[in-house]
């Protein structure tokens, strides 16, 4: 291979390298979160009630005690703005918040990937993330992370679930943190001791069966 051809290859490679260096910093100006922030500022500019426009940039809540970083507010910019109750997501006002968002953040209740700044990654619908964002109907389950009392204020679904769990004696077979296991009859070899019809009836009315082992 001649020196002239090598120089050509080197020149082409140098040009490509310079293009890559020039384009790489520009990627940040086309991030998804920037689009949402520009759109938010356009939205609030047309509102009759004054709402402060967002400063362009990544925003986050760092909870040192919980060791969490939530950047959800980078796009969810209208969480505390009453004027945005009817706005589309991600700008809509958050329903009444029982805890200070600046103290607790978002993912402690909602789950998802708090450090992410792209929609798909933030809701946790990606590989190797085992805590995707919770559907609204399951939100009260997060209250149980901190609230151990029997009746949690404003959490009827959670309270009902705990009541059913105790009344049905689920912890007799299932190991659940925070609950002490109760007595349940052993099922070892029970299939060889009784017939199928009796077993079905017994499982349905176990609460009336005396506390003794089958023999």
Lowest-pLDDT range of 49-53, 90-94, 128-132, 184-188: 184-188
Across the range 50-74, mean pLDDT stands at 93
pLDDT at 18: 84
Contacts of 186 (CB under 8 A, 6+ apart): 213, 214
Across the range 56-61, mean pLDDT stands at 95
Confidence of residue 211 (pLDDT cuts 50, 70, 90): low
> CA 61, 63, 64, 70 torsion: positive or negative?
negative
Residue 127 has pLDDT above 50, yes or no: yes
In order, the DSSP letters of 73-125 are GGT-TTTT-GGGTTPPTTSSPPSPPSS-HHHH-SHHHH-S-TT--SHHHHTT-
The whole-angstrom separation of Cα 49 and Cα 82 is 10
> How crowded is residue 47: how many other Cβ atoms within 10 Å of its Cβ?
12
Alpha helices in the chain (DSSP H): 3-23, 32-45, 101-104, 107-110, 119-122, 156-167, 196-204
Residue 214 has pLDDT above 70, yes or no: no
Give this prediction's pTM: 0.72
Across the range 40-62, mean pLDDT stands at 93
35 contacts 118 by C-beta, under 8 angstroms: no
pLDDT at 22: 76
pLDDT tens digits for 66-79? Answer: 889 999 999 999 99
Give the chain's mean pLDDT: 85
């Amino acid at each position: 291979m001649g020196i002239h051809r090598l120089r050509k290859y080197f020149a082409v490679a140098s040009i490509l390298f310079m293009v890559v260096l020039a384009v790489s910093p520009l990627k940040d100006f086309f991030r998804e979160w920037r689009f949402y922030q520009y759109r938010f500022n356009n939205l609030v500019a047309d509102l009759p009630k004054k709402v402060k426009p967002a400063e362009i940039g990544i925003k986050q809540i760092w909870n040192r005690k919980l060791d969490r970083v939530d950047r959800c507010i980078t796009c969810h910019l209208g969480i505390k703005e009453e004027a945005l109750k009817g706005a589309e997501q991600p700008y809509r006002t958050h329903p009444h918040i029982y805890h200070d968002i600046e103290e607790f953040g978002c993912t402690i209740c909602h789950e998802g990937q708090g450090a992410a700044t792209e929609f798909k990654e933030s809701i946790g619908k990606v590989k190797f993330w085992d805590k995707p964002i919770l559907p609204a109907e399951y939100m009260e389950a997060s209250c149980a992370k901190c609230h151990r009392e029997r009746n949690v204020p404003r959490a009827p679904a959670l309270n009902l679930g705990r009541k059913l769990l105790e009344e049905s004696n689920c912890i007799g077979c299932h190991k659940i943190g925070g609950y002490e296991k109760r007595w349940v009859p052993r099922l070892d070899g029970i299939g060889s001791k009784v017939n199928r019809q009796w077993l079905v009836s017994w499982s349905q009315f176990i609460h009336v069966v005396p506390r003794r082992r089958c023999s």
